[in-house]
Amino acid sequence: MPAERQSTRFLALYALAWAGGSISYVPFLTVLLPARVAVEAGEAAVGWLAYLSFGGAIAASLANILAGWLSDVTGNRRAWIVAGLASSGVLVTLFGRVEGIGGLLAVLLAWQVAINMILAPLAAWAGDCVPDAQKGALGGLLSFAPAAGALAGVLVTFPGLAGPEARLAIVAGLVAAAVLPVVIFGRPRPVTIAATPDPQAAAAPASRVVARMWFARLLMQISEAALFAYLYLWMRSLDPSFSDASTARLFLAVLAVGVPVALVVGRWSDRVGRPLAPLRAASVLAACGLCVMALAPGIGVALAGYALFSLVMTVFLALHSAQVLRVLPRSDRRGRDLGFFNLTNTVPSLIMPWLTLSLVPQLGFTALFAVLAVLALLAAWLLAPLASG
């Protein structure tokens, strides 16, 4: 007979693998790729990086949908994860050897496909194995991933540790060390998973819930993408002495605090049976943080506003990733549907630059943060009908 709860062992190994997914792309996209482009392109580095980022975002979006769908059709999540792990490990080491923007772009696109062969089946696997009563706890565990990615970036760039090519190999090794344990040793016990509803009977209400969850995350991710890209420049506009090292320390400190908060909030939502209530609360608090940032008279208040925003975003994104598994209408197409949800992670990178360029040069960061606060409140409004249950 299926159990009512998944084993703690599997949840822990799964959380480690999810952290491995973050390690696979955070150090590379934020540090190692820009550094490689700077060496290769010189003064043209900004343009090269823009083209590579745009192409990579498109490839990631399509690859995630395709990989998730293929894992649905074949019914074998592990095989796709292993294939993605092996191919991404080979491809990431090629970046130190190819030359020219064409070569870098070709390897980057192939690497994005390989990485999403890991991420898409891995995300769907949680839906296969974790019952609704533990999805809050799962979301809390997923909050370790951003911190793991950031720490990996610090490790591989530690002065004197390794050269450019060795750094890429270290990243590949860290990813394998994090992902392989759940593939090899993660034997999830059979659990009771909510049955797939009748597609015709549940189509209308399910589609409305999914749409609200999708758009709410998109709106929140636009704010996250803007702060990720422009935090340093905004801080420097308030205090010219604010350094990139200070930015990195602030980012890591908020992530470290966000992990236990997400764990506590996730378990609370499981215990009281209100799985989506924390998402609405986090959206409102994110808007509050953005308002503080918009009105901040100096660096101290600005840091407080950013700390609030980043903390609740850590909680929101981790819990949303887990709770979205509860609202998907088709368990037999879980991987494909999660691929469409993944667009909320990639589309903001295409929207955010134009939003920023249309506001900041003429009106400053205050206007940008005010607009982002409105987007967060819209997310809270979208989630309001869902948060009471």
Q: Domain check: are 160 and 222 in the same one? A: no
Q: Domain check: are 114 and 90 in the same one? A: yes
Q: Domain check: are 178 and 277 in the same one? A: no
pLDDT of residue 200: 41
pLDDT of residue 231: 72
pLDDT of residue 369: 92
Q: Domain check: are 152 and 263 in the same one? A: no
Q: What is the total count of domains within the chain?
A: 2
Q: Domain check: are 38 and 174 in the same one? A: yes
Domain range for residue 213?
199-386
- Name 3's Cβ contacts closer than 8 Å, sequence gap at least 6: 189, 190, 191, 192
pLDDT bracket for residue 224 (50, 70, 90): confident
Query: What CATH number should be reported for the domain holding residue 369?
Result: 1.20.1250.20
Q: Domain check: are 176 and 213 in the same one? A: no
pLDDT bracket for residue 203 (50, 70, 90): very low
The answer as to whether 323 is a domain residue is yes
Give the Cα separation of 373 and 379 in Å (integer): 10
Tens of pLDDT along 295-353?
988 888 988 998 899 899 989 999 998 888 888 877 778 899 999 998 998 888 778 77
pLDDT of residue 202: 44
